[in-house]
A and B are shown apart, each in its own frame.
Chain A
Amino acid sequence: MNVIQQISTFVENCPGAFREILQVIRSNDINIKALSIADTADFGILRFIVTDPDILGKILREAGFIVKKTPVLAITIGDKPGTLLTYVDKLSDADINIEYIYAFTTAAENVAKVVVKVDDVERAMNILRNDKDIKEALQANDTADFYW
């Protein structure tokens, strides 16, 4: 479990907008590790996890995109029923609000990778790290590297 930097950009909700940004990323030889899109009728927010967020941020900005760097929690959890709830329980008990979340499993490693944006990332990190249940769960997934 770690706090990592996510890069987000603003795109209009129109044909071709997503392609344009992917073209910029590919032409700079950057590999996307995780991606989510939050959309409204008018616009979308693209959120990227890459190995070097600072470089992606710079490239996108130079290409004329609006960029924001956001600290998010990156957690590798066991791919089992109820695991995510354990984490969410702890955050909810501490009255920490989850702004958004995206997650996926990797069958080969039998783990799930979860990106969580919370309203207080430092406090969330401390609470989870010092929690007995979570400690055990984390150790079970010790070998998993979030960035693959």
Chain B
Amino acid sequence: MYWNNHIEKLSREEMTEIQSISLRDLVQRVYTHVPSYRQKFQAAGLLPVDIRGIEDIHKLPFTTKQDLRDNYPYGLFALPMSEIVRIHASSGTTGKPTVVGYTKRDLNMWAEVMARALTSVGVTSKSFIQNAYGYGLFTGALGVHYGAELVGGSIIPTSVGNTARQITLMKDFGTSVLACTPSYALHIAETMRETGIDCRELPLRVGIFGAEPWSEQMRQEIQRQLNIKAYDIYGLSEIIGPGVACECTEQDGMHIYEDHFYPEIIDPVTGEVLPDGETGELVITTLTKEGLPLIRYRTRDLTVLNREACSCGRTLVRMQKVMGRSDDMLIIGGVNVFPSQVESVLLDMGMAPHYQLIIERIDNLDKLTIMVEITEAVFTDEVRGLETLEHKLQKKMSQLLGISSKVKLVSNKTIERSEGKAKRVIDKRKI
């Protein structure tokens, strides 16, 4: 089953031609409308005419998350705000969130790639899609939502949380497709077992899971526990959220919708482009985006590209499951967390920046414990004084990080001091 039979089965030559046309147009657009890009091109001695086709893409400079922050909120937008019909943002990492604006055409494109993704895992106009991604500034939920509507399925926008109710609706509404983070899927499965609901009696057949890294073993677990086929979907909020790439029923890599998103793999240290089959950082150029086009955006996600023909018939390049991050960013419960955010909270509260993040997966959900060193300035000999401090820290942390955590006070000088590479993170999750 294909949503876009023509594009999804293009020959390599035809795809290269489409990509080349789009890239030339993109470079001209950002050169004309985005001062920051123009300056970068000029600094590299580049003019739009120097980019004749996709083979010249390596001449263009990289774009990083820092560029988005430096131009916060709208500095990199390539069209006036009157053309922007939707704004999404990632969690504020070091204070400022990453803002992405979409034109009407961008939203249509997003729905189109999501429709391809959903169709390739078997979603049809007869499907009931329960969307348990969080609705809001986060891109996950609305991406699935518009894609499912375009396919013509019936979307059930439950958003995340209230697991018991999710299960009731699954039963009552006849949900056949579940979309959420993989860890939440396992949590749902467990809640079903606890409440004595047999998933084999539900019409649920397909799961589309993304927004956090998950392993092949986790796939097997989800498939076994929910009695479904579980598929991986890839995206990042800076590009469009979910829908950059998605697995097909072969479950052997995610097809990248490369007529819209041109992928490269680079060595994260040298920036050198690596050949297919080698592991490196994924770099994406948004060939067709209008609102916030990104040129050679460094995703920091580590993966491998594979251009071999897929037995599903699609000719689109495939990327492997993301195997990690090239920077220190953590993905906890689907949310991006940087250790430095914790540091800023501590300093704000007059505490020492000595902390450690411990991440575990308990009952299939990510649990974050933040160990914080006590200081004389905040120490009190009353238990409730220290408990109040823990709660206050906990609240501040969850406000800034966007996920809940447990703060645990520890003795002073017990956390390794930052000399060179401090051991700030202990990730006990087995993905």
Contact = CB atoms under 8 A, between A and B. Distances in A.
Q: How large is the interface on A (under 10, 10 to 19, 20 to 34, 35 or more residues)?
A: 20 to 34
Interface stretch (A4-12, A23-31, A134-142): A4-12
Contact of A12 (B375, B381, B383, B411): B411
A11 B381 contact: no
Contacts of B387: 40
B155 interface: no
B379 interface: yes
Contact of A67 (B376, B409, B413): B376
B216 to A, nearest CB: 36
A93 interface: no
Interface stretch (A41-49, A81-89, A120-128): A41-49
Among A6, A11, A12: residue with most chain B CB under 10 A: A12
Contacts of A117: 381-382
A100 B409 CA distance: 21
B379 A10 contact: yes
B266 to A, nearest CB: 44
B11 interface: no
B379 A42 contact: no
B382 A66 contact: no
A68 interface: yes
A15 interface: no
A100 B386 CA distance: 14
A39 B387 CA distance: 11
Given A11-B411, A12-B410, A12-B411, A40 B383 contact: yes
A145 interface: no
B384 to A, nearest CB: 9
Contact of A68 (B380, B409, B412): B380
A12 B376 contact: no
Contact of B381 (A17, A42, A65, A68): A68
A64 B381 contact: no
Nearest to A66: B379
A64 B412 CA distance: 7
Given A10-B374, A12-B414, A66-B375, A99 B382 contact: yes
B379 A68 contact: yes
Contacts of A8: 381
Contact of A66 (B383, B408, B412): B412
B13 to A, nearest CB: 63
B247 to A, nearest CB: 42
Q: How large is the interface on B (under 10, 10 to 19, 20 to 34, 35 or more residues)?
A: 10 to 19
Contacts of B382: 38, 45, 99-100, 117
A11 B383 CA distance: 12
Interface in A38-64: 38-40, 42-43, 45, 47, 64
Nearest to B369: A42
Among B374, B408, B409, B411: residue with most chain A CB under 10 A: B411
Interface in B386-417: 386-387, 408-414
B381 A47 contact: yes
A45 B383 contact: yes
Among A64, A65, A66, A117: residue with most chain B CB under 10 A: A66
Nearest to B375: A66
Contact of B374 (A38, A39, A66, A100): A66
A2 to B, nearest CB: 18
A67 B382 CA distance: 13
A8 B374 CA distance: 13
B414 A45 contact: no
Contacts of A10: 374, 379, 386, 409, 411-412
Contact of B409 (A43, A65, A99): A43
A77 to B, nearest CB: 23
A45 B379 CA distance: 10
A128 to B, nearest CB: 21
A15 B376 CA distance: 23
B411 A17 contact: yes
B386 A43 contact: yes
Contact of B408 (A42, A47, A100): A42
B409 A42 contact: yes
Contact of A64 (B375, B409, B413): B413
A57 B411 CA distance: 16
4 tightest A-B contacts by CB? A8-B381, A66-B379, A38-B383, A10-B374
11 contacts: A10-B386, A10-B411, A17-B411, A38-B381, A38-B383, A42-B408, A47-B381, A64-B412, A64-B413, A68-B381, A100-B382
Interface of B: 374-376, 379-383, 386-387, 408-414
Given A8-B381, A10-B411, A64-B412, 16 more contacts: A6-B381, A12-B410, A40-B387, A42-B408, A43-B386, A45-B382, A45-B386, A47-B381, A64-B413, A66-B375, A67-B376, A68-B380, A68-B381, A70-B381, A100-B382, A117-B381
